[in-house]
Amino acid sequence: MGIQSHSISFHNKIKLSKTDETYSEARKRDDSITDQVKEAFHDSGYPVIDNFIQGSFSTDTAIVSLNDDIDIDRAIVIDNENSPNDPVKPKQTVYQVLQDRGFKNAKVKKPCVTADYASESLHIDIPVYRLRNGIHELAVGKTNSDENNREWSVADPKGLKDWIKNNSQYGGSADRKQQQFNRIVRYLKRWRDENFTNLVAKKVYSIGLTVMAKECFTPYFNNQGLPNDLEALKGTVSRILGHGYFSNIGNNQYRVTVNLPVLPYRDVFDGSALDTATQFKNKLERLETKLIEAISEHRVVKQCEILNSMFGADFVVPASDTSASTAQKKRYASAGAVGTSQGA
């Protein structure tokens, strides 16, 4: 069994999709909450005109968290005509619904309302939008925010999802390349969760990782059309490090800047601590080094040991030492990667 088979086995362990039974149960809870939010909004005078899943479930890049929590990001949309001037009002309505439903740690955060369900491993984020002239505007503000920190802010959540899922730039085998991209994003998310403290990992935002991976994705298929995720991940990480996301501000400290590709084009890491950005860059460089080491290794067991050190126990190390030399000779003989991503 070659390294690609081990990579796929790892991916299948960490991926979380809409067809999984665990998600199905969480979705039933989510649907019930959404129905109650709709009812509460109607009673408050601003009926819901749309709702949709956003985030990693909508882009097929969700992973099983290390603590088995399932995160659902459910957008609620009202129309402009019936929306209150104060964007925090509908968020307070959502907050009350979650409180009544038995959620704990319910909070009205700046971009959304968030809470954990007390009896299940379910975390839910509910952003509220209004639709004005065909453009979504996000309700921004906390319960105690002053007037200068409350606004309906232009956003494009559906456009962001479409951008992440767009494979038109990949040319031949576009669907297979998009599937490889989805795997690369999942690998990077699990790498983050395994290599940062929980506090820092939360600040290496998934949307930041996803945008970086999309802009720098380097698909790798040999001339027989066989994917090699190890090569693709290494190429993608190398491009991320060389893309200009990290700027040196002196004293071996870095700032990270990743702009959304759609409205409002904001920096995902705006306000992020220098320590977070510096750790992020340093750990990416170590990942790149380890990926190069794994690629140059001829023994599959050794390759798996290296990847296990980066991705954790779910990247299983086989008991027997299988030589990868034959497979590698074939790979190099068949020339390199086929296709590259957009430059962005």
Q: Which sequence spans correspond to the domains of the chain?
A: 21-159, 172-333
User: Coil, strand or helix: which one is 255?
Assistant: strand
Cα–Cα distance for residue pair 57/24, rounded to 1 Å: 12
CATH architecture of the domain with residue range 172-333: Orthogonal Bundle (1.10)
CATH class for the region spanning 21-159: alpha beta
| pLDDT reported for residue 332 | 39
d(Cα 324, Cα 264) in Å, to the nearest integer? 47
- As a whole number of angstroms, the distance between CA 185 and CA 173 comes to 19
Whether the pTM exceeds 0.85: the reply is yes
Predicted pLDDT of residue 119: 63
Rounded to whole angstroms, the Cα distance separating 186 from 17 reads 11
pLDDT score of 36: 96
- Looking at residue 322, its pLDDT comes to 54
Token duo for residue 110: 């700046």
Positions in the chain short of pLDDT 70: 1, 118-119, 321-344
Beta-sheet pairing, 151-155 with 113-117? unpaired
